[in-house]
Structure 1
Amino acid sequence: MITNEELLARKGRHLETGLDESEIKAYLAAVDGWSLQEGKLTKTFGFANYYETLAFVNAIAWPVHADDHHPELTVTYNRCVVKFDTHSVNGGRGGISENDFILAAKVDAVYRQKAQ
């Protein structure tokens, strides 16, 4: 079983194959609070105000850019919904890959720093 620490230590890479349902279930156990919604790995992050929300968006820009795996973001006054999927898997039809979980772990790590 994969752990959050193992995901944090990995770097995203371009993938052609996605994860199957059982693999997704195992990976979900490693990333607290994330769920599969409409085919995307999704989590909502809460903040005190718009400034904190935008600071979070700016902070996650570096890890997602460094791994070249960019999420869909919905930004409102006090929350940010982050959605990952991998467009290149399943013959270009998209799906969930290990990259989505790697970046989910990295986004969570950024969010945890907010509380320190």
Structure 2
Amino acid sequence: MPNDLRPGTCRACEGGVQPLSAAEIDAALADLPGWIWRDNGLEKTFQFRNFYETMAFVNALAWIAHREDHHPDLQVSYNRCTVRYCTHAVGGVTENDLICARAVMALVQ
């Protein structure tokens, strides 16, 4: 896994982008520890020591989402944040979701 926060670049979801197959998603999950594939999306819950750390993570995630123009669904509470990626335009997981999940993993390493 790359050590930078730019493990790829998202591309526009219009124009023939298709969801990844189950085999492609399963193979990708081997390099994304703790991420699960559920309800046509990828998700992982991150634990933190306090609200400040949680919000710092959320703000860093917002920067990644803005840069890639690909935005996760977030569930935020005091000491945890669940991140969920799904390309709603195609109703499933695309390479963009994997790129962003990898960037999140690089962020927390």
Q: Identity across aligned pairs (percent)?
A: 48
Aligned residues: 104
Letter in 1 for 2:68: D
Tell me the TM-score normalised to structure 2 length. Answer: 0.88
Deviations 1:2-27, CA, capped at 9 Å, x for gaps: xx33x943101123211011111111
Question: Which sections of structure 1, spanning at least 5 residues, go unmatched?
Answer: none
1:57-68 alignment, distance < 5 Å: 57-68=58-69
Q: Counterparts of 1:53 and 1:9 in 2: how far apart (Å)? A: 23
Q: Counterparts of 1:67 and 1:33 in 2: how far apart (Å)? A: 22
Aligned Cα root-mean-square deviation (Å): 1.5
1:15-30 alignment, distance < 5 Å: 15=13, 16-30=17-31
SS of residue matched to 1:9: coil
Letter in 2 for 1:12: C
Q: Counterparts of 1:73 and 1:60 in 2: how far apart (Å)? A: 10
1:1-116 alignment, distance < 5 Å: 4-5=1-2, 8-15=6-13, 16-89=17-90, 94-112=91-109
Give the 4+ runs in structure 1 shifted more than 6 A. Answer: none
1 or 2 for the larger relative contact order (CA 8 Å, sep ≥6)?
A: 2
Quote the offset at 1:102 in angstroms: 0.6
Q: Counterparts of 2:7 and 2:72 in 1: how far apart (Å)? A: 19
Question: Which sections of structure 2, spanning at least 5 residues, go unmatched?
Answer: none
Which structure has the highest helix share of the two?
Answer: 1
Q: Counterparts of 1:50 and 1:68 in 2: how far apart (Å)? A: 26
